[in-house]
A and B are shown apart, each in its own frame.
Chain A
Amino acid sequence: MIIGKDIHKSFDGKEIIKGVDIEIAEGEITCLVGPSGTGKTTLLRALALLDYPTRGSISIDETSYQFPLAEDQAITPPWPEVTVVFQSLFLWPHLTLRENILLPARNIDPDTAEDRLEELIDTFSMRHFIDNFPNEASIGQRQRVALTRALMLKPKYILLDEITSALDVEQVAKVLNYLQVLRDQGIGIFVITHLLGFARRASDKICFMADGKIVEQGPPSILDNPESKRLKEFVSVIEQAH
């Protein structure tokens, strides 16, 4: 389990995350929803230990870190057991999409990487563009490739930042189904999304974040019966927009 306790993160003296407690359990899909600019991506980067919190503690399974770190304390990188798909995807532009996936995957499983990729190519309908370069693919195609690159690493936890933003309904449904398969395999999944429908259908737990804090969390039903005024407003604005 990934457990973040009392996480604070400041940039240039400005506090972006203001004491967040969050848990990502194995075999569960946790969705983080909330307005833009409330620190969702900052929180994700902290949980993946890409950026260290200013204060607080993060535990990944048996390993625990208290921040700020002691002078002689070093972080053992949790990647790729904990892996991330970024909103901006960060596909390597000089490699084809296939190479983007296979380069890290061959480290994990050199014998079966290509066979596993063939399966995922069919699952996410990537056959017609998999040998293109990233700049020859649409954003939706790149999102599927970035997700595949992460899935090929056999992660224990996968943190996804808005990976369905450019996908059509059919592809969102495919991603959702696949995430549920991964969840059933015991992988802990953390998803930042603006799609409330996706969050309702996919998640076991929803956390609503606003102004640097988790305002409300619970089962997907909190989106239908929000307790806090802030979540009520958020749900109402999003649903009016759709």
Chain B
Amino acid sequence: MFNIVVDPFYTAALTLSIVNVFGVCDVVRAALDSFPEQYVTAARVSGLSTRQTIFKIQMPLLVRQVLPGLLILQVTMLHTTLFASLISVEEIFRVAQRINAQIYKPVEIYTALGVFFLMVCLPVNGFAMWLKQKYGRDLSER
């Protein structure tokens, strides 16, 4: 319409970044909204400074709370990159489509694509599980 041509890669990167930014904001906002204010009150009456309250009480609890949501969001974003092929970005799904159009071996090509995704996602998943084990101890009182 404005006779401006933007590289599809930058268009996709910008769009996905915006979606990701809003997703991260939402996860962090939800964690902040539901943060138990009583822990801050306990810090105040115990004479902790604002800095100590933020770094020793609020941040560790918030990180534990947002971590699972953030990791799920990042894996979802990884899947969403496939949509970039719709605007002709040379991402892996589009490359697979092009190769398939030339040699027509869909089973082999898409299996290789699946294996590639597993190779990327499994370490992320492993990292998520490691983080969960390290920081995700159940803190609820019984």
* A interface with B by C-beta (< 8 Å): 48, 50, 77, 79-80, 82-84, 86, 88, 90-94, 103-104, 107-108, 133-135, 142, 149-150, 153
4 smallest CB-CB distances across A and B, nearest first, come from A80-B47, A104-B46, A90-B42, A93-B139
Query: What are 24 A-B residue pairs whose CB atoms fall within 8 Å in the complex?
Result: A50-B44, A77-B44, A79-B46, A86-B38, A90-B41, A90-B42, A91-B42, A92-B42, A92-B57, A93-B61, A93-B140, A94-B60, A94-B139, A103-B48, A104-B47, A104-B48, A107-B48, A133-B139, A134-B139, A135-B141, A149-B46, A150-B46, A153-B46, A153-B47
Q: Tell me the complex Cα distance, A82–B52, Å.
A: 19
- Asked if B38 and A107 make an inter-chain contact with CB atoms under 8 angstroms apart, the answer reads no
Given A86-B42, A133-B137, A134-B139, 6 more contacts at CB 8 Å?
A: A77-B44, A90-B38, A92-B39, A92-B57, A103-B46, A142-B141
Contacting B47 at CB < 8 Å: which of A48, A107, A133?
A107
- Asked if B45 and A48 make an inter-chain contact with CB atoms under 8 angstroms apart, the answer reads yes
Q: Tell me the complex Cα distance, A133–B137, Å.
A: 10
B142 interface residue per 8 A CB criterion: yes
Given contacts A92-B39, A135-B142, contact A79 B60 (CB under 8 A): no
Residue pairs across A and B with CB atoms within 8 Å: the count is 67
Query: Across the two chains, which residue of chain A brings its CB closest to B48?
Result: A104
Query: Across the two chains, which residue of chain B brings its CB closest to A84?
Result: B45
- Asked if B46 and A80 make an inter-chain contact with CB atoms under 8 angstroms apart, the answer reads yes
B: number of interface residues (CB 8 Å) = 23
- Asked if A108 and B47 make an inter-chain contact with CB atoms under 8 angstroms apart, the answer reads yes
Q: Which of B1-56 contact A (CB under 8 A)?
A: 38-39, 41-49, 52, 56
Secondary structure type dominating chain B contacts: helix
Which A residues lie within 8 Å of B52 (CB)?
Answer: 103, 107
B108 interface residue per 8 A CB criterion: no
Nearest CB of chain B from residue A45's CB, rounded to whole Å: 9
Q: Tell me the complex Cα distance, A92–B53, Å.
A: 11
Which A residues lie within 8 Å of B47 (CB)?
Answer: 79-80, 83, 104, 107-108, 153
